[in-house]
Structure 1
Amino acid sequence: MSCFDLVAVAACWCGAYLLRFNFSVPPDFMRTGLFNLAWILPVHAFMFRGFGLYKGMWVFASLPDLSRIVKAVGTAAIVVIVVAGFVRASVPIPRSVLVAFPVFLLVVMGGARAMYRAWREYYLYGALAAAGRPALLIGAGEAGVSVMRQLQRSPEWRLVGVLDDNPGKHGREMMGLRIHGSIDELEHWARELKAQHAIVAMPSASAEVRKRILGKCLKAGVHALMVPTLAEMMSSDRRLGGDTQTFREVNMEDLLGRDPVAIDCPNIDSMLGGRTVLVTGAGGSIGSELCRQIALFHPGQIIAYEANEYALYRLVEEFGRRFPEVPLVPVAGDVRDALWLDETFARHTPALVFHAAAYKHVPLMEDDNAWQAITNNVLGTWRVAKAAATHRVPKFVMISTDKAVNPTNVMGASKRLAEMVCQVVQGESPATAFCSVRFGNVLGSAGSVVPKFQEQIAAGGPVTVTHPEITRYFMSIPEASQLVLQAASMGTGGEIFVLDMGEPVKIANLARDMIRLSGAENIQVEFTGLRPGEKLYEELLADTEHSLPTHHEKLRMAQARAGDPQVVAEIIDWLRASRVPSPTEIKRELRRWVPEYAPFQRPLLQPVPNTGPVESSRAIGS
């Protein structure tokens, strides 16, 4: 390649002379021009090497390569002009030659590299231009350009047009593709261009914008793929390319339209860095994610307390792969085991406890397993809290639930009692700051509705929903865990924090959206009636509660009724009794201790036709 560049220098030098003298160069000027090449060629060769022209490959020539050419040729031209000015030759170099020569050389060197790259790409990938599945590109920004470059080499995809909301771009072209119009016209252009897929190349757009775009895709019956955000690419080591491995499928976080959480990292780092942190229920959905989030702040060690042996094993294996530098101590144990808890606290002396262990599945805990729900969620919380107080742990955070608000089920009532337990132990043990954090459903947690729907869709349906009007709050597991850490950094003792869950989502619409995203339009949605203990809608505050803002926009503090020490003492004595009460007796006692508890009354389900996904109002933007 360097030989080509030196030949180009000689050719452009001679070409500048020919142009100057109208292709009839006088002999004296011809001799002087050729003589000067003897030092002009080494000057340019030195500049080309010095500016790194040969670090890049011609087949991948791009703007950085052109920039290096401009710098090298420009610097060499200055040297030539300076030398020509100092040397008093009998036949001087014409000024027009000194100006025309570097211009010619830039055109030849840059053009040659561009033509070579274009020829190679056409030779290698030209046959692919008409192949692949037609797709619309959404987003005419830099991410869109990157996608277009990569898909030029893809046998799988063929871009047929671009959509963007910037009216100044409409009607223009981007790398040969026309920008047809706005994203609101997606349905029209998908039909016009026969595109059944859309690639959303807007990784920096807000969650609300992505949600609106996905609504358009669902309405148009277009299968959407997302270009991952920078954070996603860094976490999964992905690069933009021309296959379905590169673009991720739409997930439920996209449908919810929730922006990433901003947390006070310095404050959390000072709370966790170098400290021993104990997490109960560490193998569960929230507990394991808490361990992952804590690991990012370089704790001294994490004590993973978990009753499920297999879940604990999986967590240990994961930490060995992902966080080998973070000491994880697996402790198999039940939160109701006071002796083992005391031994664990004495051995490891944690500075912070996250109590995530709980039975949480509402129908399973409603009747036959009501006693287990109460003992695990209330007695277990009391014993972990008492162990923390005994060993003077500075901070204790309990994971509560929105089902503790005006509960209609045993599980919710048990979590409300657990909140009261923490408030009472706080009053007895001021050395430890106890707080609780309430939030609703988390996407993808064990036993939650989303994995269930995914299994039913994979099996060909039907997708079962309990009631047409049932609604729930949703957030992602990482988002909930990050906000729990934020609440922990803010708690000073006795608070009940409430997370901002956004807008409630109709489960029936969520099911239909998931069916549409899967492409299985023939799957039906069936309504089965509310299960024992299940509410039509959840609340974050009880009827008699108010909330106060905090300095974090996604956290509020509930002004809840304080726990009564005598009531809690009575409850604990009852739970430590040597007999198992009947479900009826348990619910009767819960009504006495939790006045806002109203036992479940199964409503009559009005006949509702089982419908497919297209006969529905939208759960997300359209």
Structure 2
Amino acid sequence: MFKDQVILVTGGTGSWGHELIRQLLPQQPKEIIVYSRGEAAQVAMSRAFDDKRLTFRIGDIRDKEALTAACRHVDIVYHLAALKHVPVCEEQPGEALKTNVVGTQNVIEAAIENKVKKVLYISTDKAANPSNFYGMTKAIGEKLIVYANLIQEETRFVCVRGGNVLGTNGSVIHLFKQQIRERRQVSITDMEMTRFFFTMPEAIQLLFKASRESVGGEIFVMLMPTCRIVDLAQVIIEESGVPGVSMVEFGVRPGERIHELLLSEYESRTTVVYDDEYLVILPALEIAGLQERYGDLPGVTFGELSSEHHLMDKEAIRGLLARGGFLS
């Protein structure tokens, strides 16, 4: 679906954007437009990829005029740009609102005005029954994206929701390795804390699958393995070979949950099992094409999907880290 297409990636200089573009280029797109605020990051990325099909546009998703201009002649939009750190969004909710909610509405309006074929919105498990402001803004973003399919028919809007992706900017893996190297001590928020984890290449492959097979109006939920953060830390400590590394618990920060949800109990009522890799949340609103596509699929047989269940053991965690290239 990407051959000879013009693709715009908001927030394209981040970790998701790097891997997405790395996997898009072999699929023969006509052009990939990297839209982001950071000049230095764009220059570094341009030098790293050195591909004439990449175009770099300085801009903010808060700036609707600039975003609309960037979307001209675009076929597909991947909307990655967001404020993502829970503490930052808790401390500066107005900024999170402007980027994650107003910015997403600007993406919707710019795509519709330019008759973009499909928009993919990357969401987070924190949007399921949100407990912090970041999750609330992403949940609103999901609602806006789903609803956008009702106000016109030319552009299809799709959500993809996943958990933590290993190795992204600010990832606990980089933090743990730095702490081991510099302090021989790893900081753990809570010894019982669990999270959903996936490798970046695997996440992008699932994103492509949703891109190809989506109708518009659904929320694709990536099924991901789960682990305790303390077990992840222990594996990284063991693999580091550094002796005498200790762990210290410093407590849950404002807005953080001990366990995350990929699917809430309320959402499970309208969720179907797509295959072994995806669940699909269908909207309560009637959107053309969804019933025909998903009406015969079985509904989920559980209430919520929490990271506290089906935990990986340390060998499985080690395998996940190896697939992600985090073990030497």
Does the pair score TM above 0.5? Answer: yes
Aligned residue runs from structure 1 range 447-486, under 5 A: 447-486=170-209
SS of residue paired to 1:529: coil
Tell me by how many angstroms 1:479 deviates: 1.0
Tell me the equivalent position of 1:340.
66
Asked if 2 retains the 8 angstrom alpha-carbon contact of 1:545 and 1:561, the reply is no
Instruction: Name stretches of at least 5 consecutive residues in structure 1 with no aligned partner.
Output: 1-270, 564-616
Q: 1:286 to 1:561 in 2, by over 3 A?
A: farther
Aligned residue runs from structure 1 range 415-494, under 5 A: 415-494=138-217
Tell me the equivalent position of 2:305.
none
Q: 1:488 to 1:618 in 2, by over 3 A?
A: closer
Work out whether 1:534 is the aligned partner of 2:250.
Answer: no
Deviation per CA, 1:446-485: give whole Å up to 9, x if none: 0111110011011132100100100001101111111111
Q: Distance in 1 between matches of 2:87 and 2:27?
A: 37
Tell me the equivalent position of 1:620.
315
**Aligned residue type for 1:329:** T
Q: Distance in 2 between matches of 1:312 and 1:553?
A: 37
Tell me the equivalent position of 1:574.
none
**Aligned residue type for 1:506:** R
**Aligned residue type for 2:30:** G
The structure 1 segments of at least 4 consecutive aligned residues displaced by more than 4 Å after TM superposition are 560-563
Instruction: Name stretches of at least 5 consecutive residues in structure 2 with no aligned partner.
Output: 287-311, 319-328
Aligned residue runs from structure 1 range 147-166, under 5 A: none
Tell me by how many angstroms 1:375 deviates: 1.1
Number of residues of Structure 1 aligned to a counterpart in Structure 2: 290
SS of residue paired to 2:154: coil
Q: Distance in 1 between matches of 2:243 and 2:212?
A: 46
TM-score by length of 2: 0.85
Deviation per CA, 1:28-76: give whole Å up to 9, x if none: xxxxxxxxxxxxxxxxxxxxxxxxxxxxxxxxxxxxxxxxxxxxxxxxx
TM-score by length of 1: 0.45
**Aligned residue type for 1:342:** T
Q: Distance in 1 between matches of 2:161 and 2:90?
A: 20
Cα RMSD over matched residues?
Answer: 1.7
- Bigger Rg, structure 1 or 2: 1
**Aligned residue type for 2:214:** G
Q: Distance in 1 between matches of 2:94 and 2:171?
A: 22
**Aligned residue type for 1:286:** W
Q: Distance in 2 between matches of 1:439 and 1:421?
A: 18
Q: 1:559 to 1:492 in 2, by over 3 A?
A: closer
User: Which structure's relative contact order is higher, taking Cα pairs within 8 Å and 6+ residues apart?
Assistant: 2
**Aligned residue type for 1:466:** T
Q: Distance in 2 between matches of 1:420 and 1:431?
A: 19
Q: 1:344 to 1:618 in 2, by over 3 A?
A: closer
Asked if 1 retains the 8 angstrom alpha-carbon contact of 2:128 and 2:264, the reply is yes
Asked if 1 retains the 8 angstrom alpha-carbon contact of 2:217 and 2:282, the reply is no
Asked if 2 retains the 8 angstrom alpha-carbon contact of 1:423 and 1:494, the reply is yes
Deviation per CA, 1:109-150: give whole Å up to 9, x if none: xxxxxxxxxxxxxxxxxxxxxxxxxxxxxxxxxxxxxxxxxx
Which structure shows the bigger proportion of residues in helix conformation?
A: 1
Work out whether 1:312 is the aligned partner of 2:42.
Answer: yes
Tell me the equivalent position of 1:330.
56
Tell me by how many angstroms 1:289 deviates: 1.2
Q: Distance in 1 between matches of 2:153 and 2:265?
A: 29
Q: 1:481 to 1:435 in 2, by over 3 A?
A: same
Q: Distance in 1 between matches of 2:9 and 2:177?
A: 29
Aligned residue runs from structure 1 range 55-454, under 5 A: 271-320=1-50, 324=51, 327-346=53-72, 349-367=73-91, 369-454=92-177
Tell me by how many angstroms 1:542 deviates: 1.2
Which structure shows the bigger proportion of residues in strand conformation?
A: 2
Tell me the equivalent position of 2:326.
none
Tell me the equivalent position of 1:42.
none
Tell me the equivalent position of 2:267.
545
Asked if 1 retains the 8 angstrom alpha-carbon contact of 2:165 and 2:198, the reply is yes
